A and B are shown apart, each in its own frame.
Chain A
Amino acid sequence: MDWHILGQQIINGLTLGSIYGLIAIGYTMVYGIIGMINFAHGDVYMVSAYLMAITLAVIHFFGIDSVFFALLLTLAVTMALTGLYGWSIERVAYRPLRGSTRLAPLISAIGISLLLQNYVQISQGARVQGIPTLIEGTIRFGSGEDFVQIKYVQVLILVASLACMAGLSWLIGGTNLGRQCRAVQQDRKMAAILGVNTDRIISLVFVIGAVMAAVAGVLVTLNYGSFDFYVGFVTGIKAFTAAVLGGIGSLPGAMLGGLILGLLESLFSGFVNTDYKDVFSFAVLVGVLIFKPSGLLGRPEVEKV
């Protein structure tokens, strides 16, 4: 085996995986707190890619040429707007259904997913959209034809997702807000009795998920340069798979699941067969769940009588 190919595939896998991980956070947090699979999350990620391109174009229009400031501003605006999306979707489509059957919000989410996809398609057109390449350059290890390379954007993806993870872990683990989140996750009724504003916390979780999706959206768009209204679907399913693989409801699990899924896909595709890459990922998922029914890092379910 050529080591440089293996190395390259691992880098490919890690980048892909950290994107899955970032999106998986949205699934896992929402699931953890209200036990609902938020099918519209993939499309929130898709919307964030559009918002990013639009913001970038507006910033460019106002003549800010420094790539660094433009990116920083774009990131901030995209995160804010996408967060708003998360908030409004929860407010409009899920909150009225709280306390009803478990599957009602699921169907509502599917409706929102269709709505977002088609709304963006109608208003922005069905064409593939893109942004110019902002960050170029790679770091190469090795010489001649046999090298392992990592693009600056890929470095940025890895660093940013690690930073997001760290920030989020601190937010959930170390702050008062995080404590409230965990309280609501464990027992919503009890938390409400103890004075936690559960509605606000649930909204917050949706916002956090959407913001993470926005980070992913910005990074992915920087890396691949193009997107269309359909990207949310495939990526959404993959990220969701990642969330389950890691143990749905667990934050580090989402990241771990994402990385593992990315690596598996990349290595299988690179060394075995691209056609059956997704079959393999799903087979691994099924296998893991059969032997460890609550995912890799998920808390085992306690059967209460």
Chain B
Amino acid sequence: MRAKVHEPIDFGHALRDALVTGVLTLLVLGPVTNLVLDGYAITAELLRGPLIVNGIGLALVVALGRFVVAVGVQTPAGRDLLTRFGQKGAHGVTVETAADNDWHRVLRPLVIGGALSLLLLVLSRFGLMDVQRAAALVLIVLFVVLGQGLGSLRRRGQSSPWRILVPLLFVAGLVLPLLFNAWGLFPKTWIGNLILALIYVLLGLGLNIVVGLAGLLDLGFVAFYAVGAYFLALGAQYFGIGFWTALLCAPILAACCGAVLGFPVLRMHGDYLAIVTLGFGEIIRLILNNWLEVTGGPNGAPAPGPSLFGLEFGRVARGEGNTPFHEFFGLEYSADYKFLFIYLVLFVVVAAMIRFITRLRAMPMGRAWEALREDEIACRSLGINHVVVKLTAFMMGAMTGGIAGVFFATYQGFVNPTSFNFFESVLILAIVVLGGMGSTLGVIIAALVLTLLPEVLRDFADYRVLLFGALMVLMMIWRPRGLIRPKRPAFAPKGA
């Protein structure tokens, strides 16, 4: 016997709730959807389909839903559910413990990843899923697990299973795409999508240093991305530099830009900094667009593809004395090789970057960033030079953005200012926030989700961007602190 007293369900109240919600929905959506402007007149389309663009229909659905919910929460089961949902998890950051590097803990992502891959392969084997999509998803899962491995910190002298696993996964990440491509499972579309996704992982990691670790809100991050991309394109045009030179020089240039832009603005706080960076981002884009003589303006500029020890990936070699890759190896020409090569190089670079940032976080500089994010005044009182610390964060972020830009330019073969608009900055910021600020793994997952989602949603044609927006809102409501809660590396001495 339950001791609880069952209150009678108040249908009247539920009905009123439903009515109010329905009317509100009707008022909000009705005019825009059911009265369609046609020249200077309107046509009333009351029975319009599909449902999503019919305000009247939506109002009915919403009212019904509200009624069900209103009745539902009055039942004991509903009330239980409500209280469970009402319990919010503890806020704040958890600190890694030594146990995080146990086999048990390490195995979990591995097992989940492995099982997911297996599931995907089985699904595609039985024709339930597109084989190419499954193959790409397997690579993504692999990358996420690798990212988790690279991102977990080991203390000196401590043995961790990752020590063996990471190299294995890394090699697998290099070999599998080649195998998949040879088997015809990994076509150019998916290589292209994954390249873009990894570029955004890189951008996310870069901005994560600035926003997630150092706590400086940067809305103009795309500027450094543009610097990298245009460095390759214009450098090739005017000075004949190639992909590899650009890959080495662009980050330095971008970091310098970061320093130049960062220096005057770093005494600003929080949101003002955001606006100034937004302003800088826009200024760079507008200059790229307007300075026709040098940048090619809106027509953009061509960017060279990568080369491998003088071997080019085009159908015919462009540089003097160069041989195309396929001729050298006696293969039939395929555009896939270029993209595969970019993918592999990018894979190595992103992996190295994840490791680099993970190490950095444990070093005094990285700790100073996080300390500064938490309490600037305390840090300054303790003698941390806040300008230098912020500047390093800004430069590190800019550098990563620059690298991403080089890859973008070479992948696209063409750069123009429309690729570097404000929305792009916003998308990168969304990656960082959705991933869970400060969490490397979160950023990786969010970047993959946010870049691949629109491609997957292409099946919804016109509703693609609409759904993307809705999912952004829902994800934020579902997980306001991001997908993965950041863990702070533990610094306690051994044995403590």
Contacts and interface: CB of A to CB of B under 8 A. Distances in A.
Interface string B106-136: 0000000000000000000000000000000
B275 A129 contact: no
Interface in A111-155: 111-120, 122-125, 129-132
A114 B473 CA distance: 10
Contacts of B31: 51, 54-55, 81
Interface string A1-29: 00000000000000000000000000000
Interface string B171-199: 00000000000000000000000000000
B95 to A, nearest CB: 19
Given A57-B35, A100-B481, A303-B377, A244 B430 contact: no
A104 B476 contact: yes
A58 interface: yes
A107 interface: yes
Contacts, number: 180
B451 to A, nearest CB: 15
B290 A276 contact: yes
Contacts of A276: 286, 290
A254 B373 CA distance: 29
A256 to B, nearest CB: 16
A118 B27 CA distance: 19
A129 B37 contact: yes
Interface in B217-237: 217
A237 B477 CA distance: 25
Nearest to B480: A100
A164 to B, nearest CB: 23
B476 A37 contact: no
A279 B283 contact: yes
Nearest to A301: B269
Contacts of A96: 477, 480
Given A100-B481, A279-B283, A279-B286, A111 B470 contact: yes
A294 B24 contact: no
Contact of B469 (A57, A114, A244): A114
B32 A47 contact: yes
Nearest to A93: B473
Given A81-B28, A278-B282, A279-B286, A285 B275 contact: yes
A77 B264 CA distance: 47
The interface centre, meaning the residue of B271, B429, B472, B473 with most chain A CB atoms within 10 A of its CB, is: B473
Contacts of A53: 37
B37 A57 contact: yes
Interface stretch (B1-9, B74-82, B353-361, B458-466): B458-466
A295 B433 CA distance: 27
A112 B473 contact: yes
B42 interface: yes
A231 to B, nearest CB: 14
Contact of A285 (B276, B466, B477, B481): B276
Contact of B422 (A58, A237, A289, A301): A237
B32 A286 contact: no
B309 interface: no
The main secondary structure of chain B at its interface with chain A is helix
Interface in A35-56: 35, 37, 39, 47, 50-51, 53-55
B53 interface: yes
A204 interface: no
A119 B32 contact: yes
Contacts of A84: 24, 27-28
Interface residues of B, number: 55
A305 B28 contact: no
A120 B469 contact: no
A26 B31 CA distance: 23
B429 A50 contact: no
Interface string B7-51: 000000000000000001001100111011100111000000000
A122 B24 contact: no
B457 to A, nearest CB: 12
B234 to A, nearest CB: 19
Given A54-B42, A97-B480, A107-B430, A124 B275 contact: no
B376 to A, nearest CB: 8
B267 A293 contact: yes
Nearest to A295: B272
Nearest to B465: A118
The interface centre, meaning the residue of B33, B37, B471 with most chain A CB atoms within 10 A of its CB, is: B37
Nearest to A39: B426
A108 interface: yes
Interface in B418-444: 422, 426, 429-430, 433-434, 437
Contact of A31 (B217, B271, B280): B271
B452 interface: no
B53 A122 contact: yes
B346 to A, nearest CB: 26
Contacts of B472: 107-108, 110-111, 114
Contacts of A123: 32-33, 36, 53
B287 interface: yes
A124 B24 contact: no
A283 interface: yes
A81 B30 CA distance: 11
Given A107-B433, A286-B279, A57 B42 contact: yes
A88 interface: yes
Given A54-B37, A108-B477, A115 B470 contact: yes
Contacts of B271: 31, 35, 37, 248
B490 interface: no
A251 to B, nearest CB: 17
Given A55-B31, A110-B426, A111-B470, A289 B272 contact: yes
B212 to A, nearest CB: 10
B274 interface: yes
A103 interface: yes
Interface string A261-295: 00000000000000110110011011001100111
A131 to B, nearest CB: 7
Given A107-B429, A108-B476, A101 B268 contact: no
Contacts of A275: 290
24 contacts: A37-B271, A50-B32, A55-B31, A61-B41, A88-B28, A96-B477, A101-B480, A104-B481, A107-B433, A107-B472, A111-B469, A111-B470, A114-B469, A115-B466, A116-B469, A118-B466, A123-B32, A123-B33, A132-B40, A237-B282, A237-B422, A248-B271, A282-B279, A285-B279
Interface of A: 31, 35, 37, 39, 47, 50-51, 53-55, 57-58, 60-61, 81, 84-85, 88, 92-93, 96-97, 100-101, 103-108, 110-120, 122-125, 129-132, 237, 240-241, 244, 248, 275-276, 278-279, 282-283, 285-286, 289-290, 293-295, 301, 303-305
Given A81-B27, A244-B275, 9 more contacts: A35-B271, A50-B32, A101-B480, A108-B472, A110-B472, A119-B32, A248-B271, A275-B290, A278-B286
3 closest pairs, A vs B, by CB?
A: A111-B472, A114-B469, A100-B480
